[in-house]
Amino acid sequence: MEERIPLIGEKFPELDVVTTHGELKLPNFFSGKWFVFFSHPADFTPVCTTEFVAFQKRFDEFKKLNCELIGLSIDQVFSHIKWIEWIEEKLGVGVKFPVIADDTGKVAKAMGLIHPGKGTNTVRAVFIVDPNGVIRAILYYPQELGRNMDEILRMVKGFQVVDTNKVALPANWPNNELIKDEVIVPPPKDVEGARKRKGMYECFDWWFCHKKL
């Protein structure tokens, strides 16, 4: 298997993984669902602990979007289990999503998750994958900066709006500074379409039209 970061628009690689929920086949295990695959540098580290709590706090919100979560680091499964137990015992948060034990580094190498400047630890990465197993977004963070889980949740919501309505979304949707929670209409395909648009939608110009859903 080629060892590089998969690209947006490509299929998520077929992987057999060992997790805290048993052996799974990806992406087949999540067939028909969205899923967020994320890597963290190591168990029993402060930033990663805050991230696991933050993901779990939004677990039900992801579920409502037909979206699952799955984590990964280059730790053995017993380390994951003890860390998850610690999180529940000390912080009162029960982690419900599976965590991949990649102590051989096979999965991390297949996904391009090893940064040559950071030793053998996995980077802090996020892959958002749609129900067809296609990678829709990739986010990378440095080890010292924790992720914004609300942004990841917003992205999943946004992709579903885009796919259902065949539109684009503005910056900071649904709280955009220009058009608030409205969506952007796709560009016209010809001169006639450009001419008609101003009568059909609210427009700043023929190339920038928006509407309410």
Q: Record the pTM.
A: 0.93
With a cut of 80, say whether residue 131 has pLDDT above it. yes
Assess contact for 175 and 150: CB atoms under 8 A.
no
pLDDT tens, position by position, 190-205? 998 888 888 899 999 9
Domains of the chain: 15-147 (3.40.30.10), 166-213 (3.30.1020.10)
pLDDT (average), residues 117-143 = 88
SS (H, E, C) 160-184: HHHHHHCCECCCCCCCECCCECCEE
- How far is residue 120's CA from residue 74's CA, in Å, rounded to a whole number? 8
Note if 67 is an active site residue. Answer: no
Residue of 48, 67, 203, 209 marked active site = 48
Assess contact for 73 and 40: CB atoms under 8 A.
yes
Residue type, 37: F
